[in-house]
């Protein structure tokens, strides 16, 4: 069950980051606040990866995602907050988030399959 709770916590972190980006775009959040959300997401990601690894599920294909996100966020946050800048970077951010979500879905599916097999034994 730890995998499930860690995935849920990561999903919450993703939502908080996306909310803070919206706030940044309209000027109600600072770059530092958004950076904190990125850092929190990275921490949740690490915890989630550790839970999958402890369940003997390989995660190599997901390991580069935080660095991709951090690179794009660094580029975005170098600008002054604006909806125009956010709109320019959102396709990249969205693509990275979608890649992460699809990867998590696959890992969760594998985790659940293995958990069902263990229960049947």
Q: What is the DSSP letter of 63?
A: T
Whole-number Å distance between alpha carbons of 66 and 28: 25
Give the number of other CB atoms < 10 A from CB of residue 3: 22
The string of pLDDT tens digits covering residues 4-45 is 999 999 999 999 999 999 999 999 999 999 999 999 999 999
Mean pLDDT, the chain, whole residue set: 95
CA angle at 70 for the pair 39 and 9, rounded to the nearest 5°: 40
Q: Is residue 81 scored above 70 in pLDDT? A: yes
Residue 83's pLDDT band, with cuts at 50, 70 and 90, is: very high
Give the predicted TM-score (pTM) of the model.
Answer: 0.92
Q: For a pLDDT cut of 70, what percent of the chain falls above it?
A: 98
């Amino acid at each position: 069950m730890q995998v499930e709770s860690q995935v849920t916590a990561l999903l919450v972190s993703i939502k908080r980051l996306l909310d803070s980006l919206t706030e940044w775009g309209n000027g109600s959040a600072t770059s530092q606040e958004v950076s904190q959300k990125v850092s929190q997401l990275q921490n949740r990601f690490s915890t989630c990866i550790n839970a999958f690894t402890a369940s003997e599920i390989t995660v190599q294909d997901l390991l580069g995602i935080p660095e991709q996100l951090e690179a794009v966020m660094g580029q975005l946050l170098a600008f002054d907050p604006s909806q125009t800048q956010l709109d320019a970077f959102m396709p990249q951010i969205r693509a990275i988030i979608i890649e992460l979500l699809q990867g998590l879905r696959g890992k969760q599916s594998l985790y659940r399959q293995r958990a069902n097999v263990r229960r049947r034994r």
